[in-house]
Amino acid sequence: MPRWWKQTVNLFWELVLKDFRVRYRNMSLGMFWSLLNPLVMMVLLTFVFTRIFRSEVPHFPLFVLCGIVPFNFFSLSWLTGTAALVDNARLIKRVAIPRMLVPFSTVVGNALHTLIQLGLLLAFTVGFGYTPNVHWWWLPVIWLLTILFVCGLSLATSALNVLIRDMRYLVESTNLVLFWLVPIFYPFSAIPPDLRDVYQFNPVAALVLAMRQILMENTSPAASLLWKLTLVSLVSVAVGGLLFRRLERRFYEYL
């Protein structure tokens, strides 16, 4: 392996580790806190949609958790990814590092953090009587594609955030909209048929659907969903990368 590659990999992991260590070091209960949020959301949504609005969906707590975990990953990693360059301004102005690593490592750090929540989700799945099966091998595939998508998206928004600091508020609002537009607490079948194709182009929605197919229906995700997810992820990385390269030369002046 060439030296620059080893340097880059080393720096990348050190940045990911830093985020991870800093996040948990000052919490007495450490990882427990990252489980609390999805659990509270699960209980709340289950209460509202089984006691107040009567949902027909079986195993509602598991169903809703399949939506919360991917959505939490997406919203948090996109938001922190967007703020990554501005938050690390001192670093970027003082050390000559490949700057793409900064949003990348933030997103991947969040993905590691999500592994804990994913563990919780799998435990619930087994608790509800489902058994691990061969379709579970699709889980890493769809998650990697989604991580790639968020990386591309964060490249674009983090670079824009350097030039226009309002970007993060736009991201926050978009996350709020997505909470409703991703089928978290309603099933895909409740979406009007003419909108379903559009929904599948949203990688977060696609991830939620695929999670439910794998964990609750014991099937592989549909081929059409997979290629749409792949396409959107690749386009997002390509566009994000190009935009980042274009704006990168101006970072020093604007940070």
Partner 1 sequence: MSISSSQGIALPLIEFENVTKSFPLHSGQNLLRQTVQAFLRNPRGERFIALNDVSFRLTKGEGLAVVGRNGAGKSTLLTLVAGLSHPDSGRVTVRGRVGALLELGTGLHPDLTGRENLYLNAALLGFTRAETIAVEDRIVEFAELGHFIDEPLRTYSQGMTMRLAFSIAVHAQPEILIIDEVLAVGDARFQKKCQQKIMEMRNAGCTFLFVSHLGGQVQHFCQRALWLDGGKVRLDGDCETVLATYEEFLRGA
**What does the binding site for partner 1 look like in residue numbers (CB under 8 A)?**
3, 6-7, 10-11, 13-15, 17-18, 21-22, 25-26, 90-97, 162-166, 249, 252-254
Q: Check: CB of residue 61 under 8 Å from CB of residue 40.
A: no
Task: Give the residue with the Cβ less far from partner 1, 93 or 196.
Answer: 93
Cβ at position 74, least distance to partner 1 in Å: 24
Q: Is 186 left (phi over 0), alpha (psi -120 to 50) or beta?
A: beta
For partner 1, which is the closer residue by CB, 22 or 126?
22
Q: How crowded is residue 127: how many other Cβ atoms within 10 Å of its Cβ?
A: 10
Q: How many contiguous H segments (helices) and E segments (strands) does the chain have? A: 11, 0
Residue 153 tokens read as 């998206």
Least spacing, CB of residue 11 vs partner 1, in Å? 4
**Residue among 23 and 59 whose Cβ is closer to partner 1:** 23
Minimum separation from the CB atom of position 205 to partner 1 (A): 29
Q: How far is the CB of 170 from partner 1 (least distance, A)?
A: 9
Residue closer to partner 1 by CB (options 145, 162) is: 162
DSSP 151-194: HHHHHHHHHHHHH-TTHHHHHHHHHHHHHHHS-SSS-GGGS-HH
CA dihedral 100, 103, 109, 113 (to 10 degrees): -150
Q: Measuring CA to CA, how many Å separate 163 from each of 63, 152, 184, 241?
A: 40, 18, 33, 16
Nearer to partner 1, 4 or 53 (CB): 4
Q: How far is the CB of 95 from partner 1 (least distance, A)?
A: 5
Cα(77)–Cα(84) distance, rounded to whole angstroms? 10
Nearest distance from C-beta of residue 159 to partner 1, angstroms: 12
Select 19 or 228, whichever has its Cβ closest to partner 1.
19
